[in-house]
Chains A and B, each alone.
Chain A
Amino acid sequence: MSAFRFSAAAITALLFGYVFSGCSTTPRSVSAASVKSEKDRKEAPDFALKDADGKVVHLADYKGKVVLLDFWATWCSPCKVEIPWFMEMQRKNKDRGFEVLGVAMDDEGWEVVKPYIAKAGVNYRILAGNDMTAQEYGGVDALPTTFLIDRTGKIAAVHVGLASKKDFDDGIEQLLNDAPAGGIKLDRDGAAVPNAGSAK
């Protein structure tokens, strides 16, 4: 990961924001301190990364869903604290239009990542990261770095380093409850239903 640098300015900009608590469509109104207001959110860069089966995955494939995008590595102990949380969040929210994507930044690639995810029983999709994608997300020098991406494909929150589980839970809940922007329709379970008016 020679180009594996994190721009402090980019992170500061991504972290800057305030609590957004409006527009909840369910009785449970949750707001996470880390979640920026909609107007302050920036488009999450699209990527084309391979999963463990060699299938190319684009962020755009998840249009209409809330995505937790976790940059991690097998050599990162704090990352491995969060992984069981993300597995639980995936299990709990998958049917509500939520997906976790793990981007593994190990130089050795699948040779070390596959055994780890098999042993840990990771229940969400893992992608092999690269420097280009890391750069597009601000450099990602510090791991874990986790982005919460709203249903419109915008970065709603960034966590650099081990964050609090509650903040992840609250952020996900808030984004799942947010009134979908850009014309995305939700089914009764809160999952996005593709339609012509869907916005990224």
Chain B
Amino acid sequence: MALLSLTLAAQSNGHMKVGQPASVSGKRGATVDAKIPLVIDPGFHVNSNTPSDETLIPLSVTWKNTGALEGGKVTFPKPTQEKYAALDKPLSVFTGNFEVVAHFKVAANAPAGPGVAVGQVKYQACNSTTCFPPKTVEVSLPYSVQ
């Protein structure tokens, strides 16, 4: 796997920016990991992938098209438990800058050459007093089969 760049190209869509993942490269059958950078506005948070309440909308990454890559299971960092003054219980959230990592395997029969996997990052942001509607941001992962 090769991480060629880390550009926060940034699709900003409501208190969280989804950066451009670096291109990944691998031989047929190899595993490759793609890091998706996320930046949350100061003073805001998004629910983690495992929110503390079933009614809350989790951070999620889904893949619409993985091309020559297989899998795409995503690993999230450890969330923080934030206690906001008005709320009884702490919330499981992400704040600041962090990355989520998508794990792929290059298909055994993948043709050599470049391609692009396309996914969606869904999130819902709040600050301590206000919440904003859930957003879905498209993310493109360039890859190359060696």
Contacts and interface: CB of A to CB of B under 8 A. Distances in A.
Partners in one complex: yes
A81 to B, nearest CB: 5
A19 interface: no
A141 B133 contact: yes
Interface stretch (A41-49, A72-80, A92-100, A170-178): A72-80
A76 B87 contact: no
Contacts of B49: none
Interface residues of A, number: 21
Contacts of A107: 134
B129 A112 contact: no
A75 B130 contact: no
Nearest to A82: B86
B55 A143 contact: no
The 7 closest A-B pairs by CB, nearest first: A161-B130, A161-B129, A76-B131, A162-B129, A74-B55, A142-B130, A1-B133
Interface of A: 1, 4, 73-79, 81, 105, 107, 112, 116, 141-144, 160-162
Given A73-B133, A78-B128, A144-B130, 9 more contacts: A75-B124, A75-B134, A77-B91, A78-B86, A78-B126, A78-B131, A116-B55, A141-B132, A161-B130
Interface of B: 53, 55-57, 84, 86-87, 91, 124, 126-134
